[in-house]
Amino acid sequence: MIEKGDHVPNDRYLIGGANNLLISPTPPPLMMLNKDFAYFNEENGMLEIGAATPTGRIISYARKHNIAGFEFCSKLPGTLGGMLAMNAGVKRYEIFNILHSIQINGEWIEKDKVEYGYRFAKLNGIATAARFEIKKGYSQELLEELLHLRNNQPSNPSAGSAFKNPLDDAAGRLIEAVGLKGYRRGDMAWSDIHANFLVNLGVGKYEDAVYLLELAKKKVFDKFGIHLQEEIKRL
């Protein structure tokens, strides 16, 4: 656990809520930010949020203080830090769309100086906080609309979406089209509810998950000529 003022060795891997990770039996040493990095601070029209703040708390704060822009965070598991590291979002709503700046290795950096795109951000260091321009007008209607988009996701344990959606297509559709929806190896399976979710049906093993990921990539490329890119991170 990292506390404020700690130096993080280069051989450590910092994780957020570990919700989009596939962890092997031999991962690198893992570290997390402690609760000192879970906070809110409003000043000069900006909202500063600590990177260890869970997404559920962010939604609750936005609702309570009538702040717009964070509605898409609902039901996105994990912490702000994890969202920043992968530019998390739902459809066209992404964290970098509303982001002003990030504190990386103790220095505030404006978002335009960070390389980012669809489900990725190159932070080049440890993000401990982020700032957002405060805009009033929290929308319960938008939140419910976005929640509806997530109703087709499985309830089984998973690491979220396994692959990024290719341009003008959907990874789930492609995986289903090659006959893998519901396909199982051991206790790991492509969900029969949403084919882009690799679910654990009991005591799933890392090697079975990797097999299914590679199988999907091969079958989709063989049939459609599309290289699926993993959204899930392997450690």
Active site positions, annotated: 119, 161, 231
What contacts 24+ positions apart, CB below 8 Å, involve 148-156?
149/90, 149/91, 150/75, 150/90, 152/193, 152/194, 153/193, 153/194, 153/197, 154/191, 154/193, 154/194, 154/197, 154/199, 156/191, 156/197, 156/199, 156/200, 156/201
User: Is residue 199 within 8 Å of residue 232, measured between CB atoms?
Assistant: no
Rounded distance between C-alpha atoms, residue 137 and residue 214, angstroms:
44
Q: Could you tell me the two tokens for 133?
A: 């321009």
User: Is residue 13 within 8 Å of residue 29, measured between CB atoms?
Assistant: yes
Rounded distance between C-alpha atoms, residue 234 and residue 213, angstroms:
11
Rounded distance between C-alpha atoms, residue 117 and residue 68, angstroms:
22
